Structure 1
């Protein structure tokens, strides 16, 4: 054995070079190669090649060939982000014309998180919350498990392994409900079958410091599309905006329904209340004083970060001053809250000044001027669902909205305002209207909803006063739909025609934005906020009321505190406009299309004025209160006012509107259609007057307050019948307009019987009695009319009532 070992040693010494030529295998390198073969991840440069088109910001985005990638930093995982879905381009008539380009279809808080070799996109809800330190926090998490929107395979890691590369093409080219532009209702309406992936694609993707923007076109196969029916498709472009939310949420402010505000809601399971406590917070910008000490002393100070709106470079030069004014009009309101220069208008920088500036960058809020036939303007904003902090906002002005305001200006003020009697409204007057529309939309973007009670604070006759209207405007807030002064009569010189900001705006901005220095929580602010409301208690100037169907003091498009008086003045003005409409809209060498458009809108204005009066019937005034305030929240409209309202409708709306039947109009806009259109409008208001909820309120008011205080249902129905069928007793001629209305009356009563069939309330009893009264009166009057259409009409009415009662 010893000899054998010595021999081996000698061989090693003699042949050392041979041993170097055949080295032992490198185990580490072999293992690395084998590991690389097993790895599910590719090399970064194999995925993101040198041909990639890259943008840098919140995430890096890459376009490689036809594939789109996100490079998700691990530092961004599980961070709160907001994903907002909007329709960027829309087919004609989608949603019946009530959906516009820019309409938001979804807004959700999301998290990007890693699960093994994949990145998950989850929709996170802050609707149900609890303090993380409380035991119930665990239950809130377990009972609000976040749904997964999509999972993405990790393709590679960036060179320093701080980010994962995922392909996101599928998220935007497949039918993902969470970001789709078509709701289930829309899909049903147009019989949408599926998304055609071959005709769906990403058109743009870009990253900015605080957001990522994606535009993607989607084509759906539909049996009954809203337009271009031969194509059998609905195509739209979606805009997806992903925002990084602040790491530390802003301190929320509790909502008070007595001050109008857009809000967010959360259910707080950690509350001491003996229930799941709903907390409602304001949606508002984060305004903090640069100099807190000076602010606390009551001095005006600038905010750390002012609200800045940039004007779209596409805005016509002549309208830019009005847009700037519309934005900066709110500076006065913010001064009441202790801030100067709180909101500023700026021109967008030119490409030479800032080549990286983009209106899609979430750091910049803009007023966009959109070349579109849409007649609208909108003031949306994006807010943090954790706190209500508004992150950014884009006001949209659609070009054709100019047409809406020109037309309304002519129709509603032309009788007393000579400069409105033209299709070429002077630039300074159109500019003033645009300014006020922008102010209104900015108000929405600041957090303020419509306040339809604001116009009711001013007496109707005060709107005929130059000194009053020039100082106080037409309503207490720009947030009401009090667009024009349609009350002022010919000879009322110097009055204000167009709305403006008012005292309620200043009050609301102070209430929502003033910093309360010593309050370190929403609960700590509550006493001060309540005291500010109580200071104004009882003053109609500072009341808030949204649109509803029952309150005569909260109506859209109305002015003044008396709907009957305001509509009486308004009709007097329309009776001046109607015979002059052909002259005021005539343009040499042009056809009558403008006249037709204005006439159709004139009919709509006439109907709207009637609707303001209709709301008095079965009306209930709503005045929001807290339990420590005296008085009642709901008060029924006075009986005499209700009865007077029905008389007004019978006199001014349910009669034949001969003043609307101008030969210069009806014989130039078409061979037929006016009779049908007037029937439609009269029928709409009659159906509104005889709406089931209104009739039910009349029954309840009589039950609670008695016949001497309330306007009984039977009395109201009888008053309507006597007005609509007034020709029968003296045997007067019944023209085509009245015959149409009478048929509509019987058909509406028949419909009410159907609606009430299951419950069989007092409505059925009262309606049946009315049908029998009509049948008897029509039957008795038939003989007085001899032969002809009126006799045929009455016989038809008798038969129609009989059929209704037999079926019922």
Structure 2
């Protein structure tokens, strides 16, 4: 075995939700500016004659690099013209063991790195390139950028021989793929700890195949580890996986990038550009998008719909169940509606994968192909990652992943959220058309990610609540302005509403965003030239909520996940009305002859969570602040507190429907079929979540600040009084306190106690300094008031358990107000 040296830096593996690939035609690639290396004769430097290395036994596959198999050794023959050219190396797990971690399924990406092969005397070095810092190579500062961003050397290979024409070098790659190199492995750091990986076993590690194509090389290799706690087959102490390494040549002429604007949602590549005139190290961001160019530029310029030179093509996994193939295809091609807004027709195409007879080389891991993968897994999710050129944001491939068990998620939620108004959702085995339509829209959502669009959590708040009860409106406009929102089912529609659309679809924001990101601006020659035109498109839509974009924040009630409409209180009221109709029917809807109540237990549990979610949409309004993304040359502020009267309406909703005991949810017929106990804890957890939301220190800080600027704002003492009177209503209208309410009241005191005992509370990454704020004085006022009210009410409370509860609360309050230590 020849000498092989690897110099690995600590590999910072990129987000595994990004997956790479490229479609390309078979054409030769050259770089005339690259001088060929000089030939070398056999000498003491170890370089051998070509025929001694690449012998008559060699099996050669010609392509980007010629790939040679000689016995059990793998060689790359690298043309001199490709030395120093940038390659994108994408590492994927092709096959995983049973029960492997979460989203690391077959086809999942584990690393993405830009590499160059460079010659250093008689060695070839692999360097990892970074585009975090850039400058034009025509500027003096470029020298400093290079000096302060020295590319790490991942590996070094001795040159084995020089090519026959003296215009290439040959290195052996065998050990690169059979060594434990974490940067290209599927066993990344935290998984090594979880599975107690000890070492790579070389005897059970090997290269399965290596194929070269005009612009990419695909290598599949099996890695086998000794592991103390493998995910499956515990007794073997073995973890094996099949990896696929895709190396693709990045375009010699990069695509023209397009500047990002935070008012329109796009995934981005980010760089610090030191070559700009800004008097600081300025970050620039380019949107991530496919390279779509019109076949007929003149017709495109006239405003005609034109096909792209190279459409976006997705191949369906051969493992896709046949009856669902049409829905998956539709989900992919739904985006043609949006691309037509950008002037392209047939921009997105879905195809079934070729059979082995049609194309024996076809593989879903081949970086030339974008795919929709169907994964046999119990995970309930789908993802839509992609990989892009870090220089420009050009997307070169993506793999949509649909996990088989995700059908279960939508089956359950259709029943829970729409079953009251939609008879088709009232059973465990949904008709193929309904589950297929749902699947179609999930695939479309993930394709949206893969063309560059992130979630837009502000879109659902653009539609009036009553419009979502209109069949005419929902069929035309959907249930949110974009399919990229977490607005999945129409839970607002009520029984008797006609022709309702219950499932999301491509909306007007999608067309707007795709036009903004993909339309070719023929009159512009540079990204800078495009900027005024792009700005004008945004300004044309300014003030129209249909075209707003924002991510979820936790404090903006107009940008929440899983919500619908511009009126969270009324929307959640409708949602609650439907849940109350569903609960009495759950036993019937979930029963299967001869089987137990597992489905009932699962769906009832998810229904409880759904109710907490609806209530959370309301609680966000307490201390809530609306955001509206604007540029500095647009009039108006960006942040506006929720009006006081609406915050009070939200508090009334919580007191009436959340902090009261939810008797409708405590259906004894259900509970005695699924558990021997647990109702008290379940309600406690539900109410605790909402109580914590309202009593959050950040909420009180925002209320206090808003009241500082505007005396008509919802004052923190007003909020605390409204909350106290709701949580402790039995004190003000004397009545027995049931066990659920006693739990709630203890949690109320516990939340206050925490803010007296800890100087910092809240999330670890953003704690609130309680000690120096107004929070403790405000809470002290509330505790004193509550203490006096409890003392007055104690003699009027009718039952002994409630009296004992009040006595205990008074002790706790005294301990908070008058600590002994």
TM-score by length of 2: 0.87
Closer, same or farther in 2 for the Cα pair 1:586/1:133, shift >3 Å? same
Matched, 1:120 2:125: yes
- Closer, same or farther in 2 for the Cα pair 1:723/1:132, shift >3 Å? same
The answer as to whether partners of 2:736 and 2:798 remain within 8 angstroms in 1 is no
Determine which structure has greater relative contact order: mean sequence separation of CA pairs < 8 Å that are 6+ residues apart, divided by chain length: 2
Which segments of 5 or more consecutive residues in structure 1 lack a partner in the other structure? 1-33
The alpha-carbon deviation at position 580 of structure 1 amounts to 0.6
Contact 1:174 1:195 in 2 (8 A): no
Distance in 2 of aligned mates of 1:541 and 1:362: 37
SS at match of 2:731: coil
Deviation at 1:50, TM superposition (A): 6.5
Residue 90 of structure 2 corresponds to 84
CA contact (8 A) 2:287 2:517 kept: yes
State yes or no: 1:797 paired with 2:815: no
1:644 to 641, 644, 649: 649
Deviates more, 1:98-107 or 1:571-580: 98-107
Aligned residue number for residue 206 of structure 1: 210
Deviations along 1:385-404, whole A, 9 cap, x unmatched? 11111101111111111111
- Which residue is equivalent to 2:148? 143
Change (3 A) 1:293 1:659: same
Residue 295 in structure 1 maps to residue 300 in structure 2: yes
**For each residue in 1:343-378, what CA deviation from the matched residue of structure 2 results, as whole angstroms up to 9, or x when unmatched?**
111121222222222222222211111111111111
Q: Give the match's secondary structure for 1:394.
A: strand
Q: After the TM superposition, which of the residue ranges 44-53 and 363-372 deviates more from structure 2?
A: 44-53
SS at structure 2 position matched to 1:555:
coil
Aligned to 1:262: 267
1:274-313 CA-partner distances (Å, limit 9, x unpaired): 2223221111111111111111111221111111111111
- Correspondences of 1:160-239 after superposition (within 5 Å): 160-172=165-177, 176=181, 178-179=183-184, 190=194, 195-197=199-201, 201-202=205-206, 204-209=208-213, 210-215=215-220, 239=244
Q: Structure 1, residues 748-770: CA drift from partner, whole Å, max 9, x if none?
A: 22333312567421122223444
What's the secondary structure of 1:747's corresponding residue? helix
| Cα distance, 1:75 vs structure 2 | 2.7
User: Structure 2 vs 1, CA of residues 496 and 807 (structure 1 numbering), >3 Å: closer, same or farther?
Assistant: farther
Of 699, 702, 709, which residue of structure 2 is paired with 1:704?
Answer: 709
- SS of residue matched to 2:706: helix
Alignment partner, residue 32 of structure 2: none
Deviation at 1:126, TM superposition (A): 1.4
Q: Write out aligned runs for 1:53-64 (5 A).
A: 55-61=61-67
In structure 1, the partner of 2:737 is: 734
> What displacement does 1:116 show?
2.1
Once the two structures are superposed, residues 584-611 of structure 1 have per-residue CA deviations (whole angstroms, 9 ceiling, x without a partner) of 0101011111111111111111111011
Classify the secondary structure of the residue corresponding to 1:564. helix
The answer to whether 1:251 aligns with 2:249 is no
Match of 1:448 among 450, 453, 470: 453
Q: Distance in 1 between matches of 2:751 and 2:62?
A: 63
Distance 1:729 1:93 in 2: 55
Question: 2: CA distance between counterparts of 1:639 and 1:87?
Answer: 53
Aligned partner of 2:778 among 751, 763, 766: 766
- Could you say if the C-alpha distance between residues 783 and 272 of structure 1 is closer, same or farther in structure 2, counting changes exceeding 3 Å? same
Alpha carbons of structure 1 residues 50 and 586: separation in structure 2 relative to 1, 3 Å: farther
Q: Distance in 2 between matches of 1:72 and 1:752?
A: 65
Does the Cα contact within 8 Å between 1:412 and 1:574 map onto a contact in 2? yes
**Aligned match of 1:432:** 437
User: After the TM superposition, which residues 619-638 of structure 1 pair with which residues of structure 2 at under 5 Å, given as runs?
Assistant: 619-638=624-643
Match of 2:365 among 360, 364, 371: 360
Post-superposition Cα deviations, 1:590-647, rounded to whole Å, max 9, x if no partner, equal 1111111111111111111011111111111111111221211111110111111112
1:327 matched to 2:339: no
Shift of 1:658: 1.2
Tell me how far apart the structure 2 counterparts of residues 568 and 541 of structure 1 sit (CA, whole Å). 24
Structure 2 distance, partners of 1:628, 1:728, is 54
Shift of 1:774: 4.5
Q: Contact 2:375 / 2:402 at 8 angstroms: preserved in 1?
A: yes
Measure, in 2, the Cα distance between the counterparts of 1:325 and 1:752.
Answer: 53
The within-5 A match list for 1:3-14 is: none
Once residues 596 and 280 of structure 1 are traced to their aligned partners in structure 2, the CA distance between those partners, rounded to angstroms, is 47
Q: Which structure has the larger Rg?
A: 1
Query: Does the CA contact (< 8 Å) of 1:202 and 1:215 recur in 2?
Result: no
Deviation at 1:212, TM superposition (A): 3.2
Q: Does 1:571 align with 2:576?
A: yes
> What is the rounded CA distance, in whole Å, between the counterparts of 2:644 and 2:431 in structure 1?
46
Q: Deviations over 1:413-450 (max 9, x none)?
A: 00011111001111111111111111111111111111
1:519 equivalent in alignment to 2:524: yes
SS of corresponding position for 1:368? strand
> Cα gap change, 1:579/1:215 in structure 2, threshold over 3 Å: closer, same or farther?
farther
Task: Sort the Cα spacing of 1:99 and 1:694 in 2 relative to 1 into closer, same or farther, 3 A.
Answer: farther
Question: Are the equivalent residues in 1 in contact too, given 2:141–2:274 (CA < 8 A)?
Answer: yes
What is the CA deviation profile of residues 147-198 of structure 1, one whole-angstrom value per residue up to 9, with x for unaligned ones? 222223334445545444434455455554544556666777x496855556
Contact kept, 8 Å, 2:41 with 2:47, in 1: the verdict is no
Is the contact between residue 129 and residue 268 of structure 1 (CA under 8 Å) also seen in structure 2?
yes
Q: Where does residue 724 of structure 2 map in the other structure?
A: 721
The answer (yes or no) to whether the contact 2:697–2:770 under 8 Å persists in 1 is: no
* Alpha-carbon distance in structure 1 between the residues aligned to 2:185 and 2:360: 32
Structural mapping, 1:316-715, within 5 Å:
316-706=321-711, 708=712, 710-715=713-718
Instruction: String of CA shifts for 1:722-772, please: whole Å, max 9, x gaps.
Output: 222222334422222222222222222233331256742112222344445
Cα drift, residue 500 of structure 1? 0.8
Are 2:295 and 2:306, in contact at CA under 8 Å, matched by a contact in 1?
yes
Report the more deviating stretch, 590-599 or 676-685: 676-685
Kindly state the Cα deviation for residue 336 of structure 1 after the two structures are TM-superposed.
1.5
Residue range with higher mean Cα deviation, 205-214 or 126-135:
205-214
CA 1:286/1:774 → structure 2, altered by over 3 Å: closer, same or farther?
same
What residue in structure 1 maps to residue 79 of structure 2? Answer: 73
Provide the residue aligned with 2:45 in structure 1: 39
* Pair 311,104 (structure 1): closer, same or farther in 2 beyond 3 Å: closer
Query: Does residue 1:285 correspond to 2:297, yes or no?
Result: no
